[in-house]
């Protein structure tokens, strides 16, 4: 099969490699679409340094079951599926508490987080455990379906962890791929005022189309002052979806009494400071969210199937796998939203 193999930072090569073979409890999936996440881009460019080479990146897949291994009971060849990239045992204490993304034996296909990172989905085929497969609704395109994982992350961060309520005033910092889904989930969940912050006017224009009531470009104005003008009493919830430490620091500066704030986008090990006394008296509640769970995946599928979140509106570029290097360059551009690879 054709695969994009990362041999070192800034050394991504298209190669013919052997097809993976499904083992007991696994399925071989013919990848039809895979989202290009900033996590993948950071690995390719060396912006995160926890990569073990060689690696096939790509962890937002949807496709068709091509073969199944022994003991697979609920899926068969030809089934259209969405793949949760997070593998889990289902038997450890964390799994039995419903915290499968804390699984003692967790692994990911093409992603980040666990020590065990397996080859991902910038390839024609990938292997996944049966418990990682979800049926794709017939009306959902593969390009939309492959966005289930990031949509599920947005739902998990905003609704499950930060407990957004109808009418909450929400600020989303960073409106790239994941930020767009945060906006859409917040809008579907009944946000009152919905403020999008980004340094890209291109992204902000998309944010307005997706339901942002206000947009702010920190490169052109004082973002803290602009938020204060829009929300004099301060936001109820701030989501950091930008992936930069500057975004986290901006989020901290926006806190007022009772604000909930979620460190969602940043995955690199950088530091910021908190005033201990101020943090105490504000009672601003910090959450963070990484990865996904079967519950969040099911919720994301329902949101998309019901038309409450439409990933097609966030997709700006599509590339065949043979043009993966063009896709990498596009990921570096401020004039893009979600990028999709179609192997």
**306 in the same domain as 223:** no
Q: Are 86 and 36 in contact (CB under 8 A)?
A: no
Q: Is 127 exposed, middle or buried (0-12, 13-18, 19+ CB in 10 A)?
A: buried
**321 in the same domain as 254:** no
User: Is residue 158 in a domain?
Assistant: no
Give the per-residue pLDDT at 267: 85
List pLDDT tens digits, range 169-181.
999 999 988 999 9
User: Is residue 128 in a domain?
Assistant: yes
Report how far residue 263's alpha carbon sits from residue 242's, in angstroms, rounded to the nearest whole number.
10
List pLDDT tens digits, range 259-287.
999 999 988 889 999 999 999 999 999 99
Sign (positive/negative) of CA torsion 28, 77, 293, 188? positive
Give the per-residue pLDDT at 119: 97
Using left for φ > 0, alpha for ψ between -120 and 50, and beta otherwise, residue 307 falls in: left
Which element (helix H / strand E) includes 287? strand 285-288
Give the per-residue pLDDT at 72: 98
**169 in the same domain as 37:** no
Give the per-residue pLDDT at 23: 97
DSSP single-letter state for residue 105: T
DSSP string spanning 14-77? EEE-PPP---TTEEEEEEEEEEE-HHHHHHHHTSS----SSB-----EEEEEEEE-TT--S--T
Give the per-residue pLDDT at 177: 87
pTM of structure = 0.95
Q: Count how many domains the chain has.
A: 2
List pLDDT tens digits, range 217-230.
999 999 999 999 99
**268 in the same domain as 208:** yes
Question: Domain residues for 116?
Answer: 2-150+291-342
Report how far residue 167's alpha carbon sits from residue 190's, in angstroms, rounded to the nearest whole number.
6
Residues of the chain short of pLDDT 50, as ranges, are none
User: Which residue from 179, 58, 221 is spatially nearest to 128, judged by alpha carbons?
Assistant: 58
DSSP string spanning 59-93? --EEEEEEEE-TT--S--TT-EEEE-SEE--S-SH
């Amino acid at each position: 099969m054709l695969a994009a193999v990362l041999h070192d930072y800034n050394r991504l090569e298209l190669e013919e490699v052997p097809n993976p073979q499904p083992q007991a409890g696994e399925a071989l999936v013919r990848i039809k679409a895979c989202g290009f996440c900033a996590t993948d881009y950071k690995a390719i460019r060396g912006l995160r340094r926890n990569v073990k080479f060689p690696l096939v990146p790509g962890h937002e897949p949807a496709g068709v079951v091509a073969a199944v291994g022994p003991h697979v009971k609920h899926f068969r060849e030809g089934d259209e599926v969405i793949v949760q990239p997070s593998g889990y045992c289902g038997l450890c204490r964390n799994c039995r508490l419903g915290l499968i993304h804390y699984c003692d034996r967790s692994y990911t296909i093409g992603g980040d987080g666990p020590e065990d990172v397996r080859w991902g989905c910038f390839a024609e085929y990938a292997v996944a455990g049966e418990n990682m497969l979800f049926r794709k609704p017939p009306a959902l395109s593969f390009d939309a379906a492959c966005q289930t994982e990031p949509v599920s992350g947005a739902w998990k961060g905003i609704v499950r962890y930060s407990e957004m309520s109808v009418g909450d005033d929400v600020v989303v910092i960073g409106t790239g791929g994941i930020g767009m889904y945060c906006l859409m989930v917040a809008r579907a969940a009944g946000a009152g005022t919905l403020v999008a912050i980004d340094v890209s006017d291109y992204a902000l224009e998309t944010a307005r189309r997706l339901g942002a009531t206000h947009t702010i470009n920190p490169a052109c104005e004082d973002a803290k002052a602009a938020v204060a003008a829009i929300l004099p009493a301060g936001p109820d919830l701030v989501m950091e979806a930008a992936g930069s430490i500057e975004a986290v620091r901006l989020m901290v500066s926006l806190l007022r009494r009772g604000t909930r704030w979620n460190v969602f986008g940043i995955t690199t090990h950088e530091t910021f400071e908190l005033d201990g006394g101020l943090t105490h008296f504000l009672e601003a509640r910090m959450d963070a969210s990484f990865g996904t769970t079967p519950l969040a995946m099911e919720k994301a599928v329902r949101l998309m199937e019901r038309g409450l979140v439409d990933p097609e509106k966030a997709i700006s570029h599509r590339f065949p796998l043979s043009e993966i290097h063009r896709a990498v360059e596009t990921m570096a551009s401020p004039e893009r939203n979600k990028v999709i690879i179609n192997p």
